[in-house]
Chain A
Amino acid sequence: MTQPVLEARKLIKHYGHVLALDEADFTAFPGEVVALIGDNGAGKSTLVKTLVGAIRPDQGEILVDGAPVHLASPLDARGYGIEAVYQDLALAPDLDSAANLFLGRELYAVPFVRVLNRRAMRQRAVAAFAELGIELPDVGTPVGMLSGGQRQSIAVARAVAFASRIIFMDEPTAALGVVQRGRVLDVIRRVRDRGVSVVLVSHNMPEVLAVADRVEVLRMGRRVATYTAAQTSVDELVGAMTGALELTNGGQAQ
């Protein structure tokens, strides 16, 4: 079996008396789209936050390319080529799309006094958007004036532009219309084809089956099943999520 690009082993996370992660495992292989599904409160967000360095687990191990790592902050995670697209976008509405793309990673014309190279950032932003087939009227428009789909595209493009290993996307299509939803899914496939893995957190089962290669199911803070997307069904996934399905009968139940 190939080496996982990112792996979590027996992660435990308490919030007071609440056990959010109960020896949760997670695996992502290189160049795949893996969907992470689970009912509300199953621990999806906690697991994702742990893997992008936003929170630290109480116990357990995180491995990048097989080597244990310590993710103390999102910056650490970025250092390993791990990026995230947040559900609430995390863009600055008054800055233009080029500025948002490079936020926190600006290019400089005069590095010594931190003078920005706005032309280079604009040109690279145009190239980055073109590569993903994202159409924007103008990279100089404040993103607050763009549509929800365009903003989502910018958030995705930002993660894609800097991720070398894996991108986490938390409900990336939740706020979008049908056409824009299709575009984001196209972008996800294109990212995977470039060799970067994508972790898709979603409630939308048909969408999961349409785009994911593998599905991992989380319930009550632990991984209860993994499926190959091509060999499973919506009913099976929902069954595993809710616990209605007897997992000993499931395809690759853990």
Chain B
Amino acid sequence: MTDPQQVAGAPSAPDGSPSGAPSARPEERPAGPPAAWRERGRRLGGAVAGASETWLLLALVILIVFFTVKAPGKFLTLTDFSLMGQDAAWLLVMAVGETFVILTAGIDLSVGSLLVLAGVMTDLYCIHHGGANASWTVIAVGSLIGLATGAAWGALQGFLVAKAKVPPLIVTLAGFIAAGEGVAYLITGGADFRTVPNRLVNTIGLGSVLGVPWLIVISFAVAIVGGLVLAFTRFGRYTYAIGSNAEAARRAGIAVDRHLIKVYALSGLLSGVGGILSLASFGSTTIAGHAFDNLEVITAVALGGASLFGGRGTMLGSFIGLAFSTVLLEGLVIIGVNQYWQEVAIGAALVAAVYLDQFRRRPRGGGRGRWAGLWPGRFGRQRA
């Protein structure tokens, strides 16, 4: 355990910094400059090789090469990265919230449904205040209503998880059904609103700023801010601490219940952002179009190295995880695989990601081999 190589090769940096952490420890540098540089290089190398992001990035590159070779002149031209980014914009925004939730050892199945509900609420206001010709003020108020709906619903789910101690799987499954299949259909009467403010569609949905589509600008900005909050603020630190050992966090004086409510509210709020992006992109409330968003988002976060047992994962990982699943789906379309196989592929990727997480969580404190966690006999015994 004293070997720095092994130490640096921790499965993922829990403080959320991708790989830069070792170089930020001046007090530990050896005296001489050349030795210091060698040591730093070695540590950095170990951290890069050990980070799950690195391996996923490698897999992503292989996947891109595979599709490029398999469909020459098609893959990178027909679906360029800009188009993929726009297709995945709301998924990325929701993946940011889902990352926080999963890091607390929770799960949020309601994201796609809250996206739909927030879009419906936003458009409901716009329709009654000008419809297709609604002004920016109306759009802004409508958006605030959508965001507030998502955040309030998320906060309610957080309250049920933290205070009523109902398992998050059940709470958010109920939220998924109630918001997506219930309330959204009640408000729309089962038929999509197709009147969406032109200004919203033409700007956020179809427009660009400095050549970059608004959908990408907004979703990347959310991801970057989310990543910074996770890695560098108290909010992020408490999120890791609660997912790692909620009782320890409680004894350390952290208001665990309040933090959980905030995290679920954040996830709901970001689903609301996704709802506005989706509304702008499709020009419709697409109430039936987001039933599997939750699985796609959770798959991306799990692929990105976040542990479903909480405490481990990074925003960068979730981003790369989403890029991986997006490339996989788009690539399968390009090479002409039957679309129903795509759902199978997503399911398989989710199982594979969680399986890999199980064996990355090898026993702590040494004693067992690196591969000990691969076999089913060890499943279920996770916590030290």
Binding site for B on A (CB under 8 A): 74-75, 78, 86, 89-96, 99, 103-106, 108, 113-116, 118-119, 122-123, 126, 137-142, 144-148
User: Does B128 make an interface contact (CB < 8 A)?
Assistant: no
Q: Contact: B10 with A138, CB < 8 Å? A: no
CB of A12 to closest CB in B, whole Å? 25
Name the interface residues of B3-23: CB closer than 8 Å to any CB of A.
4, 7, 10, 14-15, 21-22
Of B191-199, B239-247, B321-329, the one touching chain A: B239-247
Q: Is the CB of B15 within 8 A of A118?
A: yes
B254 touches A95 (CB 8 A): no
Q: Which residues from chain B contact A146 at a C-beta distance below 8 Å? A: 1, 365
24 pairs, A vs B, C-beta closer than 8 Å: A74-B253, A78-B253, A86-B251, A90-B245, A90-B251, A94-B14, A94-B244, A95-B311, A99-B14, A99-B241, A103-B249, A103-B252, A104-B254, A114-B235, A115-B232, A116-B233, A118-B15, A119-B24, A137-B7, A141-B7, A142-B14, A144-B365, A145-B1, A145-B366
Residue contact A141 to B10, C-beta cutoff 8 Å: yes
Q: Could you tell me which B residues sit within 8 Å of A by CB distance? A: 1-2, 4, 7, 10, 14-15, 21-22, 24-28, 232-235, 237, 240-241, 243-245, 247-249, 251-254, 311-312, 364-366, 383-384
Q: How far is the CA of A97 from the CA of B341 in the complex (A)?
A: 46
Whether the pair A104, B252 counts as a contact (CB closer than 8 A) is yes
Q: Which residues of A contact B15 (CB under 8 A)?
A: 95-96, 99, 118, 140
* CA of A113 to CA of B229, assembled, Å: 10
Which residues of chain B are within 8 angstroms of A90 by Cβ–Cβ distance? 245, 247-248, 251-252
Chain A residues with Cβ below 8 Å from B21 are: 140
| Pairwise interchain contact B253-A118, C-beta atoms closer than 8 A | no
- Output the least CB separation between A120 and chain B (Å): 11
Interface centre among A75, A108, A146 (most CB of B within 10 A): A146
Bound CA–CA A38/B7 (angstroms):
41
A93/B244 contact (C-beta < 8 A), A137-B4, A147-B1 known = yes
Contact A92 B28 (CB under 8 A): no
CB neighbours (8 Å) of B14 from chain A are: 94-96, 99, 142
Apart from A94-B311, A140-B21, what 8 extra A-B contacts exist at CB < 8 Å?
A78-B253, A91-B245, A93-B383, A94-B244, A99-B14, A116-B232, A140-B25, A146-B1
CA A94 – CA B13 in complex, angstroms?
Answer: 9
Contact assessment for B240 and A94 in the assembled complex, using a CB-CB cutoff below 8 Å: yes
* CB <8 Å contact, B253 and A137: no
A115 to B235, CA, bound (A): 9
Could you say which of A78, A139, A145 contacts B10, with CB atoms under 8 Å apart? Answer: A145
Minimum distance in angstroms from A161 CB to a CB of chain B = 13
Chain B residues closer than 8 Å to A99, beta-carbon distance: 14-15, 237, 240-241
Contact in complex: A145, B364 (CB < 8 Å): yes
Residues of A contacting B7 in the complex (Cβ-Cβ under 8 angstroms): 137-138, 140-141, 145
The distance in angstroms between the C-alpha atoms of A140 and B311, with both chains bound, is 15
Residues of A within 8 A of B26 (CB): 119
Q: Which residues of A contact B365 (CB under 8 A)?
A: 144-148
Assuming the A-B contacts A74-B251, A92-B245, A118-B24, are A137 and B2 also in contact, with contact meaning beta carbons closer than 8 angstroms in the complex?
yes
Query: A104 to chain B: closest CB distance in Å?
Result: 3
Q: Which of A113, A119, A144 has the most CB of B within 10 A?
A: A144
Judging by beta carbons under 8 Å apart, are B248 and A91 in contact?
yes
**Which residues in A have their C-beta under 8 angstroms from that of B235?**
114
B245:A93 contact, CB within 8 angstroms: yes
Chain B proximity of A65: nearest CB distance (Å)? 23
The answer to whether B249 touches A92 (Cβ under 8 A) is yes
Interchain CB contact under 8 A, A116 and B234? yes
Q: Is the CB of B240 within 8 A of A95?
A: yes
